[in-house]
């Protein structure tokens, strides 16, 4: 092959490409128009969707996520339409098929991350808890500090920051003490069998009914529950106001202090366990007899 022949082949190929380019030039112009118009429309729809989502979803990260996903989906449609005009839709289909297989493999590899992510979306939509709520999830109780798409952060009353994966939060029972705005204190106490039960009940309720932080709409209640070995047991119930940041342990401590003072002032006895000691190898021997035997020896 001489140089002139090679030159002619190159010119023919370039001429063919030029003719093909001129032939599809209207398609290129139409595809460019579709891209410009589509990108503009997708951006406007994303901004509109973000404003609508903010009315229903208070999580800004979730708003941005949904609007971005819709934006990318719309851009994909626009690009696919432009490539279809250029007769390249089959190539795009092949690429999407390959991307689907890769995406499936990645889904199996990162299924825990994906499950936490999806659980975070459901938590943001359903809103079983908010930042600042007092909650108990599994064995952790405290104040919700952060609600992210992957995890939820709780500050316990011991001052620890606990990061709980959203999958565990979504699948576990959530005790939210803030939703009702109040929480009940149950205190179990026992009194002697020789006490006047009606007098004890009136005295006990009167001693604790004016503790600071109690809910005004809820009455202090007291119920005798059982005849125990050395006492008649009862439970007294008080409702504290969560919204006023009342300390649960402080209210419980005040109850114990006030009840003890009231009982001491009125000679009411709170029984304590009594043990009988039995001496001797076979039992049935008192301490006094043991001491007498030791003196004789």
Give per-residue burial for 137-158: e unless 16+ CB within 10 Å, then b: beeebbbbeebbbebbbbeeee
Does the structure show a pLDDT above 60 at 282? no
Given this model, what pLDDT does residue 284 score?
A: 54
pLDDT in tens, 228-260: 888 899 999 999 887 656 678 888 899 999 999
pLDDT in tens, 12-64: 666 776 776 677 777 778 878 888 888 888 888 888 877 777 776 666 666 66
- 201 pLDDT band, cuts 50/70/90, is very high
CA 282, distance to chain mean position in Å, is: 60
Indicate if the alpha-carbon torsion angle 28, 32, 38, 39 is positive or negative.
positive
214, 187 Cβ separation under 8 angstroms: no
Helical H runs in 2-59? 3-23, 25-56
pTM above 0.85, yes or no: no
SS3 228: coil
What domains sit in the chain, N to C, each tagged with a CATH number?
3-109 (1.10.287), 128-176 (2.30.30.60), 182-265 (3.30.70.100)
pLDDT in tens, 1-15: 567 666 666 676 667
Q: How far apart are CA 17 and CA 24, in angstroms?
A: 11
Given this model, what pLDDT does residue 99 score?
A: 62
Q: Which two tokens stand for residue 136?
A: 């108990």
Token pair 């043990």 is at which residue? 275
Q: In what order do the strands lie in the sheet with 161-165?
A: 161-165, 151-156, 140-147, 134-137, 174-176
pLDDT in tens, 87-144: 766 666 666 666 666 666 555 555 666 777 777 777 777 778 888 888 888 888 888 8
DSSP 285: B
Q: How far apart are CA 175 and CA 178, in angstroms?
A: 9
Flag the least confident range among 65-74, 171-180, 211-220: 65-74
Strand residue runs (E) in 228-270: 232-241
């Amino acid at each position: 092959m001489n140089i002139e022949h090679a030159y002619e082949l190159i010119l023919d190929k370039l001429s063919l490409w030029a003719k093909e380019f001129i032939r599809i030039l209207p398609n290129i112009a139409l595809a460019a128009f579709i891209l410009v118009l589509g990108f503009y429309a997708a951006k406007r729809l994303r901004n509109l969707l973000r404003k609508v989502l903010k009315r229903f979803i208070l999580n800004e990260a979730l708003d941005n996520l949904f609007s971005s996903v819709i934006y990318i989906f719309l851009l994909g449609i626009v690009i696919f339409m432009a490539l279809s005009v250029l007769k390249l839709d089959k190539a795009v289909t092949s690429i999407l098929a390959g991307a689907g297989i890769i995406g499936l493999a990645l889904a199996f590899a990162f299924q825990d991350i994906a499950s936490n992510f999806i659980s975070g979306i459901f938590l943001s939509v359903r809103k079983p808890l908010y930042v600042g709520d007092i909650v108990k999830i599994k064995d952790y109780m405290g104040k919700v500090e952060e609600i992210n798409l992957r995890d939820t952060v709780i500050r316990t009353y011991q001052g620890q920051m606990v990061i709980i994966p959203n999958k565990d939060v979504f699948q576990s029972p959530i005790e939210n003490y803030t939703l009702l705005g109040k929480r009940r204190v149950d205190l179990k106490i026992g009194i002697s069998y020789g006490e006047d039960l009606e007098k004890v009940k009136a005295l006990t309720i009167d001693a604790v009914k004016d503790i600071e932080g109690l809910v005004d709409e809820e009455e202090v209640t007291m119920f005798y529950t059982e005849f125990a070995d050395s006492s008649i047991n009862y439970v007294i119930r008080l409702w504290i106001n969560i919204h006023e940041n009342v300390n649960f342990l402080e209210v419980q401590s005040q109850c114990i202090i006030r009840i003890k003072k009231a009982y001491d002032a009125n000679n009411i006895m709170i029984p304590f366990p009594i043990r009988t000691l039995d001496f001797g190898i076979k039992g049935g021997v008192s301490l006094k007899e043991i001491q007498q035997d030791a003196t004789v020896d």
